[in-house]
Structures are given as C-alpha cells and as structure tokens.
Structure 1
Amino acid sequence: MVRNQTNKVAMRTQKAVSDAFLALIRERAYAQISVTDICRRADIVRKTFYNNFQSKDDVVHYLIHDIFCEMESRVDFAHTSVRQILLFAFRFVLDNREALLLFYHRGLLRFAHKIIAAYIAQEHILARLEQEAVDARAYKYIAAQISAVLISVIETWIESDFQEPIEFMAELTEALMYRPDSGRG
C-alpha cells in the first residue's frame, strides 16, 4: 500500500476504496468481498485499486493504520505513561464502538495484531522493561505477546458488552502486559 501519500488524487482514491470496503463489510462477510466488488463500489478500475493497494487485506491494514494515526495525533506516546495510553486506547474503543463491533463480528480484529505489535516495538512501551534483564532479541516476541494480550482483552470486553469501566480495563491490561500473574486477585 502506498503510505504517506501527498498526491491528492491517490489520497482520494484510497479514501474511496476504504469507504467502499466499509460499506461492503456492513453488508456481507469478509470472504464474500472481492477486489472487483470494492472497485465497483468505489467506482474505480482494478488498475487504480492495485496502484494503491496490494489486496483487500491491504485495505483492512490501511483502515487500522488510519485508526492508529488518529490515536497518535491525540497522544504523545513517547511522553505518556503506559496506563494513560491504555486509558486513551480503551476510551477510543468505547468511542468507536460501532466500527469495532463491526470489525469484531466480521473477524477483522486479527489484522490489528501485527500493527499493534509494530507500534509497541517502535514506541516507548518496551522501554518500561528492565533493559539489563531482557535480551534485545526478545523485544519482537515481547511486542507480539503484549499485542496479543491487548487484542484478547479488547475482544473479551466487546463480548461482555463493555461492562467493565475503562479504568479497570486499563489497570488489568497493564498488569497482564507487565505482570501476567497479577490478575489473580
């Protein structure tokens, strides 16, 4: 996918494709959506689609990446505590509940795992680990584990109809991320 686009035509095309995909995913399952369907809905030809995206999976990654860009524009990850980031993330999930429920019910949250792991690996969250106690080769695995915890907690929160307060979710997730045995009560 073409990122950090400054070409206004390409940006409009990417927006049209992502809007078309979102409209289609409201109507049918992910497996039932083809690139041709997306092109028809976006009123573009396949060549234009492939100039901007490699596949329909790439469109989902684009949408998830946009969510993270929106979050990054609101939070300075480098100078914010993990708890504050998690509070913001759970508030963001609640504020965007409709879209996340759609992604959840269509099985698309799985696409967020690698993107979240990449953000964790490149942001300051891993800096919270005791540097001398952790082999640098382990960072990518730790980021993957933290991402899996976050996605699992969000999915379970969705399944429980967002019953627990944001503060509880942030505290629990932080404990599971950094002290996995602390959720025992």
Structure 2
Amino acid sequence: MTTGALNARIRLALLALIALAALAAVLLWVGSSSEELRVVRPAMQALPGEADIAAGRGTELSAALQRPLFWDGRVPIASSALAPPAAQAEAKIEGFKLLGIVMDRDKSTALLATPQGVKRATVDDQIQGWTVRLVTQTEVVLSSGEKHVELSVIPKRHPGIKLGPVDGKP
C-alpha cells in the first residue's frame, strides 16, 4: 500500500467521522425540547427624582405606613427578652468548643476544642476537671461539681426570638 492510498483512507475516515458528528448534532438539535426558556423579568419601577422627593411627590409614604410590616401575630422583641438569662450566661466553659459528634452503634464520641488542642471524649471521660455526662446527636453535657454545661452543635435560638409562618403558610 502506498502512502497516497493510506492518506486517502485517513481523509475518508476523518470525513466520515465529521459527517457522523454533524448528524449527531442535528439529531440532538431536532430531538431537544422546543419549549422556550422562561426568563423572569421583574417589573421595572421608576424611582422618583430628587426634586420629587424634596416636594414629597412619588414617595407614597402614607401607603407604605399603612401596610403591615410584619405578619399577623409577630411582635417586636422586648428589650428585657434580649438580655441573656442568668443560667445561659453561666453555662459556658472558657476555651471549650464543640466541633462535632461522631455517632457509632454503641459509642458516641464528642470532638472538643480545648486550650490544649482537640480532644476526643466519650461518656465518663475527664477533660480539664470536667466530666462528660452525656453525648447525643446534637449536644454534649459536661459537669464539674454542681455546674452543668450543655455544648450544642446547633446554635440555640434566643428564647425571645419566635419564628412563625409567613402569611399563614407553614
């Protein structure tokens, strides 16, 4: 076989490959959905100019004041509710942080960041004078004498913050 015949076969194979690729592209194009893309376009609102604001036009302040700011039943948090309860203020261990909890069939291990580094702790382990009393999926209970501290993986919401449905929808 000569090199000329070999080059002709390679060209023929490449042309056949290109033809197959073009056929596949056409089939994909024809077989795809003809549904148009849905583009969300928010309603454009004209902002009032400085002269309108100075004259009190275009601001519709009275309409804004008449609308409810919160859904039914929501009230502002009282300043007394924002103050942390005394029990929560004392329930902290300086330098300790719960990094995570590893659950096994018969043994749960807490990963605690301490001033001396990361420690693994199971029930009844001693860490810097604190005894691990309980390890659940979300928290660890430590005690030292009469003090009990709960460290949680999930941050606790302040008791003054109440979440409720928006517009009656759960």
What TM-score, normalized to structure 1?
A: 0.24
Larger strand proportion, structure 1 or 2?
Answer: 2
Structure showing greater radius of gyration is 2
Higher RCO (CA 8 Å, separation ≥ 6 residues): 1
Larger helix proportion, structure 1 or 2?
Answer: 1
What TM-score, normalized to structure 2?
A: 0.25
